[in-house]
Structure 1
Amino acid sequence: MKYESTLAQISTQQIISMFDLLSDVIFWIKDEAGRVIHCNKEFVEHVGRKSINQVLGHSDLDFSPSYLAKNFMLDDQKVMAGEIITDRLELNIGKSGELAWFTTSKRPLKNPSGEIIGTYGIARNLKETVKTLSGMEKIKRPVEYIKNNYSQDIAIEQLAEVANLSVSALERRFRKYLKKTPMQFLREIRLENSRRMLVETQMPISEIAYLNGFASHSYFSRHFKKMFGQLPASYRSEIQANL
């Protein structure tokens, strides 16, 4: 068919260069060792470099603090094993150097034979995502409220009141713009901050759970493993062994 013939003439380079048109999306491709083999302009700016040549061949350890880099690299290893990550909240460094929340998706990179030879992914600054997708205070306000108060008890009714919406309307908007419910968003914020504290501090795991709004250690551990593939103690041991 004609469209198949046209598609066959499009090079891979042309396709991936299209990501340069997306000013709010960070895009990268890494080899099996976690080295960047391609990225878009937004990625270059995100890591504070001036050209793609200053990025190619380097890993997360060259761009991010070690505790963040180790998190990213551990995730990449899991993706290399076939896991997929979709719209997960995680901490990263913003352009101005501050810690910021990003939504990240990663996939295994396969050759024509189906063998996994690397990873690729995209990330978007959550603040910019909300601004771009909604342009509405009714999604921005509950997002900011969660980011500023995630360590406290938060009920869905509180978030609905902050947004001046009904609970059902609030949940519809979160699913539309962030692909998750308000309470899933809250839990992911808590889990990602817990992951950071497991690496940055020597606090007992039960205390980290409590400080991030989890009422019980078992509930925290169960959801931590569901999100990151490991129990908190195992995650801390593996990361610290490689620091």
Structure 2
Amino acid sequence: MEELPPGQFRHLFDHLPGTLFFAKNREGRLMAGNPAFVKRCGFQREDQIVGLTDKQIFPPRLADKYHRDDEKVITTKQPLLGLIELFPNSQGRPEWFITDKLPLFDKHGNVCGLCGTVRSYEEQRAAIQPYLELAEVAEHLKANFRERLEVAELAEIAGLSVRQFERKFRKTFQTTPRSYLMRMRVIKACELLAGSNLPITEVALEAGFYDHSDFSRQFRKHMGQAPTAYRREKRGGGPKLPR
């Protein structure tokens, strides 16, 4: 880690959709901001916000609130997470956002500033809405992963036609209902292999597979190794590394 140039990781935030990133010094002056934050503050380039305080950018009432939270992070040396607060949206109107603020420390362990992220509450809710709409289906699969997959039954639970359901499921989970179910069975098999002495064939049946060969094939496909090798590795009997 000591060989890594400082500051590289902050550029990760340049590419996170829907996330504003900022960093401030102890005096509350902005020292960094990702493109989304810079634009939301009404500027074009990061260097235009460096050195500015919240009072120079935001309405007094909002700026005072941000400053109080910043002071709390700096004085307590503890993060403030999941703050639901008002922040100007892209049209400049106050909107509810989720803010996380964390203290930044120098090499001597002293607080030298803070950094944070701001995410739109509405956008976050919209992002998870498809999952919420299929939550009942997901719970059904979790409770009945050993049973035969009936897509028509799942579609009925979701209140959709089979075609609509399959399209929505793939778009939401980036996989098919069958592949989703298979992953759940493999996860259960991993749990049994690591935490029980059941023979491999019984593990296969308990996890919802119909026979040993199908289990071995699917397990290797998802985990990259045979069930016996996985069990040996999890119990501390994996292959020894060369000296």
Q: Give the structure-2-normalised TM-score.
A: 0.52
Q: Partner of 1:17: helix, strand, or coil?
A: helix
Identity within the alignment, %: 27
Higher helix share: 1
RMSD: 2.0
C-alpha separation in 1, matches of 2:55 and 2:3 = 37
Deviations 1:108-139 (A, max 9, x none): 11101110111111110111112224435759
* 1:52 Cα deviation after fit: 0.5
2:117 to 118, 122, 129: 122
C-alpha separation in 2, matches of 1:127 and 1:36 = 26
Runs of 4+ off more than 6 Å:
none
C-alpha separation in 2, matches of 1:104 and 1:138 = 26
Q: Partner of 2:8: helix, strand, or coil?
A: helix
1:24 equivalent in alignment to 2:28: no
Matching of residues 147-162 of structure 1 within 5 Å:
none
For 1:100, the aligned partner's letter is E
- Structure 2: state its 5+ residue gaps: 135-243
- Structure 1: state its 5+ residue gaps: 1-6, 140-243
2:51 to 57, 70, 78: 57
C-alpha separation in 1, matches of 2:25 and 2:40 = 20
Aligned to 1:224: none
C-alpha separation in 2, matches of 1:51 and 1:19 = 15
Aligned to 1:232: none
C-alpha separation in 2, matches of 1:138 and 1:77 = 40
Aligned to 1:75: 69
Q: Partner of 1:79: helix, strand, or coil?
A: helix
Q: How many residues matched?
A: 134
C-alpha separation in 2, matches of 1:129 and 1:33 = 31
* 1:48 Cα deviation after fit: 1.0
For 2:127, the aligned partner's letter is T
C-alpha separation in 1, matches of 2:112 and 2:38 = 23
Aligned to 1:104: 99
Q: Give the structure-1-normalised TM-score.
A: 0.52
Relative contact order, higher structure (CA 8 A, sep 6+): 1
Q: Partner of 1:129: helix, strand, or coil?
A: helix
